[in-house]
Structure 1
Amino acid sequence: MKVVLTAGTGVYYDALKELFYDPFTKETGIETVLVSTGGYSEVQTKVRAMSEANNMEWDVFATTYDTVRSPAFANYVEDLGDCSELPNVESEGVDGSCLGKAVLWAATGNGIAYDESEFPNGGMKNWPDFWDVKAFPGPRALPNFGSPWYVLSAALLADGADPKDVYPLDVDRAFRKLDELRPNIAVWWTSGDQAQQLLRTREVVATMVWNGRVATLRKEGFPISFVWNGAMLDADALGITKGAPHKIAAMALLNYIYARPKAAAEFAKRLNYAIPNKHADDFLDADVASNLPTAPENWSKLVKSDAAWLAENSQKLIERWTAWISG
């Protein structure tokens, strides 16, 4: 028996494999088979294509917290209901771990990362600074991975919107602000690995990216800072594909990963992602916990998306974004 899955790339996947997937195989005998993919937009496209062709090859896939709640994606994932068939999610997960169509996984802040060496007199502190190419000169990068509301939210903050008033998104205003910065965007990246590499090679001086990616770069010795002010709360979700060829094994895997608080804590130590196991903090030092999005001083600075608004508007937003990015 096996589970075919796609769940991130690079160091993110390496940590998942070591801490969760390999132990799962050792304890259950169920093989975990990784499918190499690009960013989330590519994953979503392939899931749709396989489903519509009635040729589903994957069992478990990672996508964004927002995407899995989107009506446009509902027909491609198994409905887990209240997760009663995943008892560890109920007993070990933090409140909100069951998403109906998936389970919550790694939570992070999606904010500004900048190269300290480019700004010796002080770096960026907020999204208006990211847009200010005179005070902070140099090429930027922004993501294009299927969830454009993060970039549009940043544009509104750069235009002076109060964080509590970002939603509902003023889409016209956001695109006008993006038009201003567009000439300075050197790369529209599609995966976290690509974003990291842009900073390693100094192809850009700043980008939007997840705090865990910055933590890894700093461990490698790169002088990259992360800005929590105005960062977007982002999270992965793990879903089971509709028509999964190994659904029972996939259910077993999702249930298993929620029962490993020490592994969840180790994952957080390595990558600075908050794992939704309510006992993980028991195994974390205060300095690690303070660099997670769930730390009170960081949590208060995060911008949270409006799930109800996105459920009604995400598809139209993606269509407009696709037209804009292609133009």
Structure 2
Amino acid sequence: MTKQYSNGHSGCRLNRRSLLQSTAAVLSAPFVVKATKAWGQEKLAGSGEVVVFSYGGSMLAGARRHVYEPFTKATGITVVDVVADVAEPQVKAMTQAGRIDWDITLVQAGNYPAMAQAGMFVPIDYSLWDQESLEGAPAHTRLKDAVAMFGVAVVLAYDQRAFPRGGPRNWVDFWDVEKFPGPRAIEGSQGRHTIVHALLAAGVAPKEVWPLSDDKLHRAFQKLNEIRPYVTKWWMAGGEPIQLLINGESVMSSAFDGRAVAAIRQGAPIKLVWQGSMSYNYCAILKGGPNSINAQKLIAFLNRAQIAAGWTQGTGYPGPNTNQLKYLPTDLTPLLSVNPENASSCVLDSTLWLAEMRPDGKTNADYVQERWLAWRAR
């Protein structure tokens, strides 16, 4: 069952939704969990329904096939999905109205801290999780009132045809235009991703990137001044860098991992370098929702290793449970953020710092973005 919603938003948020859907369409594979009543066990069995937010499209189709239908078969609980471009504005509106119609929502990392502080979510019942789930999901992905649902990274991708003897291995190499000549493309929309890349190119250790002090921002922009003459495209939509690489218009670019993986699995001559910026989208249960108990059961079910592998295959974006790797195709695991080797090479966004308020009433995220846009406008 599906209900359609729209909040009229567009721009980068809508592009992200499209990004997720298009990646899901490519990575979806004939991997369907053979769920039985035994999978439900007594603590997950139930009745009735659970209402879940989704971005729709092929991402939702994959979630239905690999997660929702097996969940219903195993537990007897029906999943009702609602579709919108983004969830946060409607969650806030429902909270203000005092009528919560959904049970589970997706929350972008930057929006989570304020919504959690406002008391919009209920604690996650981790007693429903099996041991394999708890052991596979790192502690920092299991918050008190939210669970990391999937990771999105902006990493380095290059055209293998341009560098048949081996291409760039890190962001230092990206900046080395003599050893690796050719036009570059860099994300022009969200400045924090590119600032992280610039700091890595400047030799800042990944653990020292956050918080982005004024000194670090100055250092990042100084480094960006060096590469600016060689950037022929500041891309705004997720599909652009992949198309630029395929067309030979750029030899290397920052890129969303999901888009790059999808292209690689379709045969594109692209190489992915796992170093960059990464963030999570969270799954949370809304306080006051009509079916909170069933919502707890669905989240516990979804985070089981084999179901998590199904989610990855169906949606194109992996959750953080590393135990899913043993259920995924061996040619896919080296390309995913859930691979510990890849995850360890990325800088995880400091969500709490980005959400902190500055003395001028702006968040750190707003301040960083304003600095970025001012630099771009020069």
**What residue is the counterpart of 1:15 in the other structure?**
62
2:300 paired with 1:255: yes
Three-state SS of the structure 2 residue aligned to 1:22 is: helix
Find the partner of 1:155 among 194, 198, 212: 198
Count of residues in correspondence between the two structures? 313
**What residue is the counterpart of 2:45 in the other structure?**
none
**What residue is the counterpart of 2:104 in the other structure?**
60
CA positional deviation for 1:69: 5.2
**1:71-220 equivalent positions in 2, closer than 5 A:** 71=114, 74-75=117-118, 77-80=120-123, 83-84=124-125, 87-88=128-129, 92-93=133-134, 94-96=137-139, 97-107=141-151, 109-120=153-164, 122-131=166-175, 135-138=180-183, 140-142=185-187, 144=189, 148-169=191-212, 170-178=216-224, 184-189=232-237, 192=238, 205-220=251-266
Pick closer, same or farther for the CA change 1:195–1:61 going to 2, 3 Å.
farther
Which 5+ residue runs of structure 1 have no aligned equivalent?
none
Moved more, 219-228 or 91-100: 91-100
Three-state SS of the structure 1 residue aligned to 2:148 is: strand
Three-state SS of the structure 1 residue aligned to 2:346 is: coil
Three-state SS of the structure 1 residue aligned to 2:51 is: strand
Q: Is the 8 A contact 2:67 2:311 kept in 1?
A: no
CA positional deviation for 1:31: 3.2
1:235-281 alpha-carbon deviations (Å, 9 max, x no partner): 3321234554554443332232123x323234446777543446424
Percent sequence identity over aligned pairs: 28
TM value normalised by structure 2 = 0.65
Separation in structure 2 between the aligned mates of residue 250 and residue 306 of structure 1, nearest angstrom: 28
**What residue is the counterpart of 2:365 in the other structure?**
318
Three-state SS of the structure 1 residue aligned to 2:236 is: strand
Separation in structure 1 between the aligned mates of residue 233 and residue 99 of structure 2, nearest angstrom: 38
CA positional deviation for 1:5: 0.7
Moved more, 303-312 or 98-107: 303-312
1:7-59 alpha-carbon deviations (Å, 9 max, x no partner): 5x66544432321123234553423324142xxxx544554455456676654
Pick closer, same or farther for the CA change 1:304–1:23 going to 2, 3 Å.
same
Three-state SS of the structure 2 residue aligned to 1:117 is: coil
Q: Is the 8 A contact 2:101 2:290 kept in 1?
A: yes
Q: Is the 8 A contact 2:63 2:315 kept in 1?
A: no
Separation in structure 2 between the aligned mates of residue 208 and residue 112 of structure 1, nearest angstrom: 5
Which 5+ residue runs of structure 2 have no aligned equivalent?
1-48
TM value normalised by structure 1 = 0.73
**1:220-299 equivalent positions in 2, closer than 5 A:** 220-228=266-274, 230-244=275-289, 246-259=291-304, 261-268=305-312, 273-277=317-321, 279-284=323-328, 287-295=331-339, 297-299=341-343
CA positional deviation for 1:87: 1.2
Separation in structure 1 between the aligned mates of residue 160 and residue 189 of structure 2, nearest angstrom: 24
Separation in structure 1 between the aligned mates of residue 89 and residue 253 of structure 2, nearest angstrom: 25
Pick closer, same or farther for the CA change 1:291–1:306 going to 2, 3 Å.
same
Q: Is the 8 A contact 1:109 1:233 kept in 2?
A: yes
**Amino acid of the structure 1 residue aligned with 2:104:** V
Q: Is the 8 A contact 1:4 1:57 kept in 2?
A: no
Moved more, 55-64 or 216-225: 55-64
Larger Rg, first or second structure (1 or 2): 2
Q: Is the 8 A contact 1:48 1:76 kept in 2?
A: no
Separation in structure 1 between the aligned mates of residue 287 and residue 176 of structure 2, nearest angstrom: 45
Pick closer, same or farther for the CA change 1:269–1:139 going to 2, 3 Å.
same
**Amino acid of the structure 2 residue aligned with 1:88:** W
